[in-house]
A and B are shown apart, each in its own frame.
Chain A
């Protein structure tokens, strides 16, 4: 197996908060230590890759099966909605994409929190890899929502609470990605983006609440609410199949991108080492 000796990985040793910081809350301290130890074990990139590599084909296969079955049940084996007809079938891609967009931001925030609190180097990599995937799901949710809205509302776009929230979510993703790439030092960008992701995570419920409030203030009378009619059980099966498939695909993509990113770091470390010790390769 490869020896993982990236300077960057070792510059910040994963460790819990210092003893003085939490000495007065022993319970929290032990919990923190247990958590830190468990995370520390995963912090080693080689170990992560050993776990992730065999996991990848299974998640990929699961994603393919779920999405395939979801497409079959969604497009063929489910009844059209009694109000919206076959247009309701857009729901089977729209809603799972929106769920994944939101869950992706939760994952981004979680990884950022782990990176900030426990200085977990792999969490930085994970957060960095989650962002573009989450942004893609957000774009899908927006595009399909617009395509669903046109036959139902008569316009491509309505400023209702949900659509507006998803747009703001997209801006949060894009801001994160812009910030992470703005610095010369890659790690500086990652840490700055970590702080931004956490600010966004704290603020997101407030934004959501404000947008809901705003929506009730300006509610136009003749809008068909998407969440109005209850959903037929026959529609739940493809919905959950697609949601599961999209989630597995998300996991898959995160693993693939993390593998890429870790390989890139290894290449950078090797090149740096080659610069330090030139012409010593004939050992």
Chain B
């Protein structure tokens, strides 16, 4: 337990170090999430558009 404490304290700079990593993780995580969700929804509407397209390929 004291090791964990020391690790989290980061020699007194804990707040700065952990907020820096948190900001980085937050921004990158949100960016990844937003990109994936945009792709997912766009693929869904692509499928929809393909289905209703007059140029749809018959299988």
Contact = CB atoms under 8 A, between A and B. Distances in A.
A and B touch in the complex (CB under 8 A): yes
Interface of A: 2-3, 5, 71, 75-76, 80, 85-87, 89-90, 93-94, 97, 132-133, 136, 139-140, 143-144, 147-148, 150-151, 249, 253, 256-257, 259-260, 263-264, 266-267, 270-271, 273-274, 277-278, 280-281, 283
Contacts of A150: 16
B36 to A, nearest CB: 6
Given A140-B27, A253-B35, A93 B58 contact: no
B36 A256 contact: yes
B23 A140 contact: yes
Query: Is chain B's interface secondary structure helix, strand, loop, or mixed overall?
Result: helix
B54 A281 contact: yes
Q: Indicate the size class of the contact surface on chain B.
A: 20 to 34
A273 B54 contact: yes
Interface of B: 7, 10-14, 16-17, 19-21, 23-24, 27-28, 31-32, 35-36, 38-39, 42-43, 45-46, 49-50, 52-58
10 closest A-B pairs by beta carbon, nearest first, are: A86-B11, A86-B10, A87-B13, A270-B49, A144-B20, A280-B54, A260-B39, A263-B42, A147-B20, A93-B24
